[in-house]
Amino acid sequence: MHIIVHGIWDDEVREHTLEVLPEIFSRHGMPFRLVADYFDVEKSIAHHT
């Protein structure tokens, strides 16, 4: 799943997304498991400057 949001810092998008994904997957009878997390604070900051 890719989440794209404009106007909010990447770390906030990541935090809020990770909060809701388990519930969303559960509603559809699917297990949620984070396999890889490629979030990089330095790249996130560089992207916004």
Max CA-CA distance within the chain?
40
Return the pLDDT at 7. 77
Say how far apart CA 11 and CA 17 lie, in whole Å. 10
35 pLDDT higher than 70: yes
- Return the C-alpha torsion angle 9, 10, 16, 21, nearest 10: 160
pLDDT one-digit tens code per residue, 1-25:
666 777 777 788 888 888 999 999 9
pLDDT average, residue stretch 35-39: 77
The domain ranges of the chain are 10-47
Return the pLDDT at 42. 62
